[in-house]
Chains A and B, each alone.
Chain A
Amino acid sequence: MMILAKLALGTASTLMIAGVYTFREGTIRVDVDEHREGGAHVHVWAPAAVVPMALHFVPDDKIREVTDHANEWAPLVRIAAKELRKYPNTTFVEVEDGDDHVKVSTVGAKVQVDVTNPQENVHVTVPLAMVEDVIAQIAARQPAS
C-alpha cells in the first residue's frame, strides 16, 4: 500500500513539475472569430514552452532555410523582444479606420496584436520570453561560417 502511495506521489509530482515547467514561459493564445455565417472560430491556447521544444524536432536543413532569412531580422527581433519586456501594459501602435481597429501592445510580458473589424476579430498573444528562446535557438543551430 505504501509503495502504491509513493508511486502515486512520484507520478503526481512529476506531472506537476512538468506542468510548471511547461507553463513557466506563459501561453500562446490565438483567437480568430469570423462573423460571417459558417465562419471559422479558432481558439488556440498552448503553452509557449512547446514552441522551442518543437523546434528541436525540425530538421536542420529546414532550420537553415529559415536562418538564411532570419539573419536579417533576428537581431532586431531579439533586441525588440528584450526591450519590450521593459514596457508591460503599453500600447505602441493603434490604428482606427472606421470599424477597423488594429492594436499592437504589451500585456505583462506578452506582446498582443488585436485586429477587430465587422468581418472578423483576431487576437494573438505571444510571450516575449518565447520569442527570445526561438531566436536564440535558431541562432544556435546556424551552421558555423
Chain B
Amino acid sequence: MRVARASEVTAAEELFSPPLRINIEDDGVPPRPAHASPSLRRNAMKNFPTRPASIALAGALLLAPLSLLSSDLQAQEVIVTSSSSSTSERWLHVRVIDTNHKGETVRVNVPLEMAEKVLPAINKDRLHSGKIQINHNDIEGVDLKALLEAVRSSKDGEYVTVQSNDNDVRVAKQAGYMVVHVTEKGFKSSKSDKSDKSADKSEEKSYERSRVDVKIPMKVVEALLSAGKDELDLVAALRALSAHGGDTELVSVKSDDSTVRVWLDSKNVSD
C-alpha cells in the first residue's frame, strides 16, 4: 500500500482535509489515522474537488436565511439604541387641537437633530441653507431683527405693556427667556340685574377670548440673530434649542376653538 508523502499533499488538501493529512515519521512508517482507513482516504481524495464546494453550498443554503434574520436583529439593535438614546435627545413637539370641527387634532414630533440636518437641504422661496430671509414689508415695517437685538442686549425687565379694550400685550425678558403674553378680549352681553324688571337692559362683559404665551430662551434668540443682515438663522436656533436643557414650553395658544402647544422635551412621543 502506497502512502502519500507530505510533499504530495497539495495546499488545497491541507486546507480542506486536515484530518486526513499523514506525516511520515523519521522511521518512514506513517502513523495511521485512527479514524480514517486508506480506502476512506482514497475516496475522500477522489471526491476532493467537489466535496468542499458541496459543503460550502450546503452551508450557504443553511446560513442564507440567517442573513435575513441578522438584518432584523440589526433593526432591533437600532431600536434598542434608539430607545436608550431617547433620554438624551431633544424632541420638538407640536400639538394642535381644533374644537371647531370634528375635534381635529394634529400631533407632530420632530427630533431636533434631524431637523438640524434636514432644514439646510430645503431651498425654497426664502429658506436657503437653513436661513430665512426676512422682508420688513411683510411685518408692517417692523425691523424684527433690530427689535430682537434690542431685547437681547437689554437687562431683564418688562419692555412692552399694552392694555386696551381688545388686547393685553406684555413683552418681557426674565431669567434668560424672552416672554411674550398676548390676551385677546371678547365681549358677551349679559342681563345686568334680574330684579330691575323695568330696565331690562343688558351690559357687555369682557372675557378672555384667546391667550398666547411665548417663552423663548435668549440663547435661541441670539442664535437666530447670528445670520447676516435681513436673515434669521433657523439651524443655529435649533442647535441652541437642542443645547437648552430641561423641558420647555415654547408656545401655548388657547382660544375658544383651538389649542396650540409647542414644547421641547426628551420624549419621542407627545403626551
Contacts and interface: CB of A to CB of B under 8 A. Distances in A.
A37 interface: no
Contact of A84 (B104, B109, B114, B122): B114
A53 interface: no
Contact of B79 (A12, A23, A89): A89
Interface size class of A (residues with CB under 8 A): 35 or more
Contact of A92 (B54, B67, B108): B108
Interface string B113-126: 11001100111100
A6 B54 contact: yes
B109 A80 contact: no
B160 interface: no
A76 B82 contact: no
Contacts of B155: none
Interface string B38-71: 0000000000001000100110110011011001
B3 interface: no
Interface stretch (A28-36, A55-63, A94-102, A136-144): A94-102
Contacts of A99: 102
Interface string A82-98: 01111111111111111
Contacts of A94: 105-108
Contacts of A95: 104-107
B268 interface: yes
B54 A9 contact: yes
B110 A6 contact: no
Given A20-B64, A95-B106, A86 B57 contact: no
Given A13-B57, A87-B82, A90-B109, A24 B50 contact: no
A76 B118 contact: yes
Given A80-B118, A83-B117, A6 B104 contact: no
Contacts of A79: 117-118, 121
Contacts of A91: 107, 109, 269
Interface string B247-271: 0000000000000000000001100
A27 to B, nearest CB: 11
A19 B65 CA distance: 9
A79 B118 CA distance: 6
Nearest to A26: B71
30 contacts: A9-B54, A9-B61, A10-B57, A17-B60, A17-B64, A20-B68, A23-B68, A76-B118, A76-B121, A78-B121, A79-B117, A80-B114, A80-B121, A83-B118, A86-B78, A86-B113, A86-B114, A87-B268, A88-B75, A88-B78, A89-B79, A93-B108, A94-B107, A96-B103, A97-B103, A98-B101, A99-B102, A108-B75, A108-B79, A109-B75
